[in-house]
Chain A
Amino acid sequence: MTKATLQALLSHWWRNPLQLFTLLAGLALATALWSGVQAVNAEARASYDAAATTLGEGQYDRLVRRDGQPMAQDTYITLRRAGWLVSPVVQGRLNGVRIVGIEPLTAPGGIGPVAPQEGADAARFLSGEGQLFGNADTASRLPEQAFVITPEAAPGTAVTDIGVAQRLLDRQGQIDTLIVLSGQPMGQPPLADIAPDLARQSAQGGSDIARLTDSFHLNLTAFGLLSFAVGIFIVNGAIGLAFEQRRPVVRTLRALGVPLRGLVVLMGAELMLFALIAGGAGVALGYVVAALLLPDVAATLRGLYGADVSGTLQLRPVWWLSGLAIALGGTAVAASGALYQLAQMPLLAAAQPRALAMAAGKRARFQGIVALGLLCAAGILMATANGLLSGFALLATLLIGAALALPLVLDRVLAGLSRLAKSMTAQWFWADTRQQLPGLSLALMALLLAMAANVGVSTMVSSFRLTFTDFLDQRLASELYVEVEDTAQLAALVDFASPRADAILPIQSAEVMIADQPTEVFGSRDHATYRDNWVFLENTAAAWDRTFDGEAILINEQLARRSGLSIGGVVQVQGQAFPIVGVYGDYGNPIGQAVIGEDAFVRLFPQVIPRRFGLRMDPAAVPGFVQELEEKAGIPATQSVDQAQIKAISLAIFERTFTVTTALNVLTLAVAGFAILMSLLTLATMRVPQLAPVWAMGLTRRQIGWLELMRAMMLAVLTAIVALPLGLALAWALLAVVNVAAFGWKLPMYLFPLDYARLGFFALLAAALAALWPARRLARTPPADLLKVFSNER
Chain B
Amino acid sequence: MLLRVTDIHKTYQTADGPFAVLRGIDLTLEAGETLALTGESGSGKSTLLHLIGGLDTPDAGQIVLQDQDIAALDDAARAALRRGIVGVVFQQFNLIPSLRIADNIAFQARLAGQHDAAWVKTLTDRMGLSAQLSKYPEQLSGGQQQRVAIARTLAPKPRLVLADEPTGNLDEATAAIVMDLMLELVSEAGAGLLMVTHSEALASRMSRRLHLKAGRVA
Contact = CB atoms under 8 A, between A and B. Distances in A.
Given A254-B79, A257-B111, A347 B55 contact: yes
Contacts of A16: 98
A252 B96 contact: yes
Contacts of B88: 255-256
Contacts of A254: 79
B37 to A, nearest CB: 17
Contacts of A249: 96-98
A474 B199 CA distance: 95
Interface in B61-82: 75-76, 79-82
A7 B98 CA distance: 10
A1 B83 contact: yes
Q: Which of A3, A255, A258 has the most CB of B within 10 A?
A: A255
Contacts of B33: none
B112 A257 contact: yes
B75 A5 contact: no
Nearest to B74: A259
Interface in A1-56: 1, 3-5, 7-8, 11-12, 14-16
Task: Say what secondary structure dominates the interface of chain A.
Answer: helix
Interface string B72-109: 00011001111110001010001111110001000110
Given A4-B111, A15-B98, A255 B55 contact: yes
B190 interface: no
A794 interface: yes
Contact of A258 (B53, B79, B103): B79
Nearest to A2: B111
B166 to A, nearest CB: 14
A369 B41 CA distance: 41
Contacts of A8: 96, 98-99, 107
A11 B111 CA distance: 16
Nearest to A794: B142
Interface in B159-218: 169
Q: Which of A11, A14, A252, A257 has the most CB of B within 10 A?
A: A257
Contacts of A248: 94
A251 B83 CA distance: 14
Contacts of B55: 255, 347-348
Contacts of B169: 794
A15 B84 CA distance: 28
Contact of A15 (B95, B111, B136): B136
Interface in B122-171: 136, 142, 169
B111 A255 contact: no
A261 B76 contact: yes
Contact of A1 (B56, B95, B99, B113): B113
Q: Which of B79, B82, B136 has the most CB of A within 10 A?
A: B79
A259 B76 CA distance: 5
Interface string A233-273: 00000000000000011011111111111000000000000
B136 A347 contact: no
A3 B103 CA distance: 12
A348 B79 CA distance: 14
Given A3-B110, A255-B88, A348-B56, A15 B97 contact: yes
Contacts of B108: 256-257
A7 to B, nearest CB: 7
A251 B94 contact: yes
B108 to A, nearest CB: 5
B107 A14 contact: no
A434 B76 CA distance: 41
A257 B82 contact: yes
A257 B80 contact: yes
A256 B136 contact: no
B50 interface: yes
Interface residues of B, number: 30
A460 B71 CA distance: 67
B50 A348 contact: yes
A7 B103 contact: yes
Contacts of A15: 97-98, 136
Q: Which of B107, B112, B169 has the most CB of A within 10 A?
A: B107
A3 B82 CA distance: 18
B113 to A, nearest CB: 7
Contacts of A11: 96, 98-99, 103
A255 B82 contact: yes
B14 to A, nearest CB: 15
Nearest to A788: B138
A347 B56 contact: yes
B22 to A, nearest CB: 15
Contacts of B110: 1, 3-4
Contacts of A12: 98
B145 to A, nearest CB: 11
A29 to B, nearest CB: 26
A260 B96 contact: no
Contacts of A348: 50, 55-56
B97 A5 contact: no
B96 A257 contact: no
Contacts of B50: 348
A130 B113 CA distance: 79
B98 A1 contact: no
Contact of B111 (A256, A261, A347, A794): A256
Contacts of B142: 794
Interface in B3-33: none
B94 to A, nearest CB: 4
Contacts of B94: 248, 251-252, 255
Contacts of A256: 82-83, 88, 107-108, 111
Nearest to B90: A255
Nearest to B149: A252
B84 A257 contact: yes
A8 B104 CA distance: 9
Contacts of B111: 1, 4-5, 256-258
B60 to A, nearest CB: 19
Contacts of A257: 79-84, 108, 111-112
A396 B82 CA distance: 49
A254 B103 CA distance: 17
A256 B81 CA distance: 9
Nearest to B171: A794
Nearest to B82: A257
A4 to B, nearest CB: 4
A5 B79 CA distance: 13
A253 B107 CA distance: 10
B112 to A, nearest CB: 7
Given A1-B113, A8-B107, A259 B75 contact: yes
A78 B136 CA distance: 93
A208 to B, nearest CB: 60
A253 B79 CA distance: 10
A3 B79 CA distance: 16
A395 to B, nearest CB: 42
Q: Which of A16, A249, A259 has the most CB of B within 10 A?
A: A259
B11 to A, nearest CB: 15
Contacts of B53: 255
9 closest cross-chain pairs (CB), A and B: A257-B83, A257-B82, A11-B98, A15-B98, A4-B110, A259-B79, A252-B94, A12-B98, A259-B76
Given A249-B96, A257-B84, 17 more contacts: A4-B107, A4-B110, A4-B111, A5-B111, A7-B99, A249-B98, A251-B94, A252-B96, A254-B79, A255-B88, A255-B90, A256-B82, A256-B83, A258-B111, A260-B79, A347-B55, A348-B56
Interface of B: 50, 53, 55-56, 75-76, 79-84, 88, 90, 94-99, 103, 107-108, 110-113, 136, 142, 169
27 contacts: A4-B111, A7-B99, A7-B103, A8-B107, A15-B97, A15-B136, A248-B94, A249-B96, A249-B98, A252-B94, A252-B96, A253-B96, A254-B79, A255-B55, A255-B90, A256-B83, A256-B88, A257-B112, A258-B83, A259-B75, A259-B79, A259-B80, A260-B79, A261-B75, A261-B76, A347-B55, A794-B169
